[in-house]
């Protein structure tokens, strides 16, 4: 059946033939030329280009009838000459050939236009997404765009704002929302499995056919777009699926970019926070040192005053003040050193030193803390010298020993060992305390971090290990926490560079 648009094209083709009649009449009247068939070929040609093969053939046939009007006897259609037949055949061949070529050209042009429209839509999509600040906004933009580009109803499903999986921004739905949500959810779950597709078709018993498209990485943040397919037959490589895929890809790229931007922003924020902390720590430390110096001086003057030294209780008190103030002063000094090392203002004073001296120095400084506890020392024979700043490394070891004493039960032994492994010196401090799980082991070196499980066991500031790490790393070494798990004790291992590299050396402790 010829549609309305088609019949209009036939009418227009007839119109073209009518228009051609005017020059034909003029030609016959004013010139001695007999044949006007060339003039009537033109409507067929134009109709072929503009309206396609059918109207062109109609124009050619009508042109042939009109041509016969101009053969003598003029204006009679009853005359049929061989030349007329030849004209008609030529007209038909021209109409068919040009019609076919023009048809192909038109189809190609439509394809190009369609392609251009899609590229423009994708461009609009990416610029809209660029303005979206978070994942939810990107999902909304992609859903709206998909609905516009595919000219279909699109329902967005995602979990958000503490709510479970639900349809977003669709107050009215032709199908029961729960049925569609269920289909979307089970598709989202399937997406997590390797090799599963990012697009699938769901036939809902009471809700027709839906194309389900996964957006974002499979996981709790992903979204599913359900595109209403109506009565469309399922063809996974079809037009709609291909277009849905290109929109999804654009969305996925933006989500990826957003993730990277987030990570960068978080890193910058952390760096700024660290820098602020450094400034704060430095200024507070400076402020504290002056009154502390007076307390230290006064305490030592007091302890030597005859009235105080004659009274044992007062003498002990003044000594305690001096010792605690001394400890506080060392801690503040450590904090200042950390901020200066981080700022590059303090360089370690390297020396070649016997590791046993470092271990013994640290044990002397923590003697009070370790008193009454069994401490075993297993240093390998002929330990090679290390090239480090002894003050910094001794302080790092003091912090580790203090932690072992602090977190392990009072009667649990502490084992210290040292030996060479893989061309480096390892000093290990083992305690039988609460141990560390993997997550805890990753966090203990962060400044001000205090393990939740350990905070009740002993007090602290969460700075000891951060300081130790900074000192050891400034010396070209590293600290490694080892534990078989909660309740199974902890070994803190310091790795230090040897003074003279001993190639091929292996475990000798």
Site residues for ligand ADP per CB under 6 A: 399, 403-404, 407, 431, 433-434, 436, 444, 449-451, 454, 460-466, 490
Please state the closest distance from residue 216 (CB atom) to ligand ADP, in A.
Answer: 36
Least Cβ distance, residue 444 to ligand ADP (angstroms): 4
- Rounded to the nearest whole angstrom, what is the least distance from the CB of residue 293 to ligand ADP in the complex? 24
Residue 344 Cβ vs ligand ADP, minimum distance, rounded to whole Å: 23
Q: What angle do CA 207, 211, 212 make, to 5 degrees?
A: 105
Nearest to 262 by CA among 221, 291, 234: 221
Q: Which is nearer to ligand ADP, 335 or 498 (CB)?
A: 335
Q: Could you tell me the CA-to-CA distances from 112 to 79, 105, 119, 246, 451 in Å, in that order?
A: 48, 11, 10, 17, 63
Q: How far apart are CA 62 and CA 58, in angstroms?
A: 6
Here the tokens at position 44 are: 């067929």
- In the complex with ligand ADP, which residue's Cβ is closer, 361 or 464? 464
Pick between residue 250 and residue 432 the one whose CB is nearest to ligand ADP.
Answer: 432
Length of the chain: 509
217 phi, psi to nearest 5 deg: -65, 140
**For ligand ADP, the closer CB: 103 or 460:** 460
Helices 239-304, 82-131: inter-axial angle, 10-degree rounding: 10
- Specify the residue, 90 or 370, whose C-beta has the smaller distance to ligand ADP: 370
C-beta of 474: minimal distance to ligand ADP in Å?
Answer: 17
Query: Nearer to ligand ADP by C-beta: 482 or 499?
Result: 482
Residue (24 or 338) nearer to ligand ADP, CB: 338
CB 454, min distance to ligand ADP, A: 4
CB of 493 to ligand ADP, least distance (A): 12
Least distance CB 433 / ligand ADP (angstroms)? 4
Taking a C-beta distance cutoff of 8 angstroms, is the pair 143, 156 a contact? yes
Question: Which residue's CB is nearer to ligand ADP, number 191 or number 447?
Answer: 447
Quote the tokens at residue 495.
């790795």
How far is Cα 69 from Cα 72, in angstroms, rounded to an integer? 8
- Please, what is the minimum distance in Å from the beta carbon of residue 452 to ligand ADP? 8
SS3 374: coil
Minimum CB distance to ligand ADP, residue 472 (Å)? 13
In the complex, the smallest distance separating the C-beta of residue 254 from ligand ADP, rounded to whole angstroms, is 39
Residue number with CB closer to ligand ADP (27 or 370):
370
Bridge-based pairing state of the strands 351-353 and 386-388: antiparallel
For 442, the token pair is 């990753």
Torsion of CA 52, 58, 63, 68, to 10 degrees: 160
Q: Which two tokens stand for residue 380?
A: 């390998």
Half-sphere exposure of 296 (CA within 13 A, CB side): 14
d(CA 214, CA 217): 8
Q: Supply 121's token pair.
A: 């839509």
Assigned token pair, 433 = 């305390």
Nearest alpha carbon to residue 210 among 220, 222, 196, 199:
199
Hey, how many other C-beta atoms are within 10 angstroms of the C-beta on 411?
9
Considering the complex, state which of residue 232 and residue 437 has its C-beta at the smaller distance from ligand ADP.
437
- Judged by beta carbon, residue 87 or residue 402, the one nearer ligand ADP is 402
* Least separation in angstroms between CB 429 and ligand ADP: 8
- Give the containing element (helix H, strand E) for 353: strand 351-353
The two beta strands, 414-421 and 163-168, are: unpaired
State the virtual CA torsion across 149, 150, 151, 152 in degrees, nearest 10: -130
Give the span between the Cα atoms of 212 and 226, in whole angstroms.
Answer: 5
Cβ-defined contacts of 326-335 (< 8 Å, 24+): 326/296, 328/288, 328/292, 329/289, 329/292, 329/293, 329/296, 330/395, 332/285, 332/288, 332/289, 332/292, 334/395, 334/467, 335/281, 335/282, 335/285, 335/463, 335/467
CB of 449 to ligand ADP, least distance (A): 6
Q: What 3-state DSSP class applies to 1?
A: coil
> How many secondary structure helices (H) and strands (E) does the chain include?
15, 12
Closer residue to ligand ADP (CB): 120 or 327: 327
Identify which of residues 348 and 464 has a Cβ nearer to ligand ADP in the complex: 464
């Amino acid at each position: 059946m010829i549609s309305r648009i088609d019949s209009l094209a036939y009418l227009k083709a007839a119109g073209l033939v009518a228009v051609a009649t005017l020059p034909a009449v003029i030609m016959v009247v004013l010139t001695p030329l007999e044949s006007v068939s060339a003039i009537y070929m033109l409507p067929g040609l134009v109709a072929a280009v503009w309206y396609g093969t059918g109207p062109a053939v109609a124009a050619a046939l009508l042109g042939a009838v009109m041509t016969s009007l101009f053969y003598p006897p003029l204006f009679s259609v009853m005359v049929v000459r061989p030349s007329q037949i030849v004209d008609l055949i030529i007209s038909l061949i021209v109409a068919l050939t040009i019609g076919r070529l023009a048809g192909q050209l038109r189809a190609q042009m439509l394809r190009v236009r369609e392609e251009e429209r899609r590229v423009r839509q994708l461009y609009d999509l990416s610029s809209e997404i660029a303005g979206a600040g978070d994942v939810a906004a990107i999902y909304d933009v992609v859903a709206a765009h998909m609905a516009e580009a595919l000219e279909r109803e699109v329902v967005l499903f995602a979990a958000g704002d503490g709510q479970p999986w639900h349809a977003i921004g669709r107050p009215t739905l032709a199908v029961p929302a729960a049925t569609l949500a269920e289909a979307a959810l089970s598709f989202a779950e399937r997406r997590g499995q390797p090799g599963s597709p990012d697009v699938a078709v769901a036939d809902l018993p009471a809700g027709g056919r839906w194309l389900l498209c996964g957006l974002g990485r499979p996981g709790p943040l992903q979204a599913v777009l359900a595109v209403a397919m109506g009565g469309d037959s399922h063809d996974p490589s079809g037009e709609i699926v291909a277009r849905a895929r290109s929109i999804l890809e654009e969305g996925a790229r933006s989500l990826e970019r957003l993730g990277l931007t987030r990570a960068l922003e978080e890193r910058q924020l952390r760096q700024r926070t660290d820098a602020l902390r450094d400034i704060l720590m430095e200024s507070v430390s400076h402020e504290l040192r002056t009154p502390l110096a007076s307390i230290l001086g006064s305490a030592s003057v007091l302890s030597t005053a005859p009235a105080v030294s004659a009274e044992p209780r007062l003498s002990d008190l003044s000594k305690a003040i001096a010792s605690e103030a001394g400890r506080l002063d060392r801690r503040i000094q450590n904090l200042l050193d950390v901020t200066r090392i981080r700022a590059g203002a303090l360089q370690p004073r390297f020396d070649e030193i016997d590791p046993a001296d470092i271990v013994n120095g640290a044990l002397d400084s923590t003697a009070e803390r370790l008193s009454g506890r069994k401490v075993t020392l297993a240093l390998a024979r002929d330990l090679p010298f290390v090239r480090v700043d002894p003050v910094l490394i001794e302080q790092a070891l003091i912090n580790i020993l203090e932690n072992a004493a602090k977190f392990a039960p009072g009667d649990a032994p502490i084992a210290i060992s040292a030996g060479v492994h893989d061309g480096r010196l390892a000093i290990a401090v083992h305690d039988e305390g609460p141990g560390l799980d993997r997550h805890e082991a990753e966090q203990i070196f962060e400044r001000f971090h205090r393990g939740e499980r350990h905070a009740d066991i002993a007090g602290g500031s969460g700075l000891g290990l951060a300081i130790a790490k900074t000192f050891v790393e400034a010396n070209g070494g590293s600290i490694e926490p080892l534990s078989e798990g909660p309740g199974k004790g902890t070994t803190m291992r310091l790795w230090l560079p040897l003074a003279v590299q001993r190639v091929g050396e292996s475990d000798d402790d």
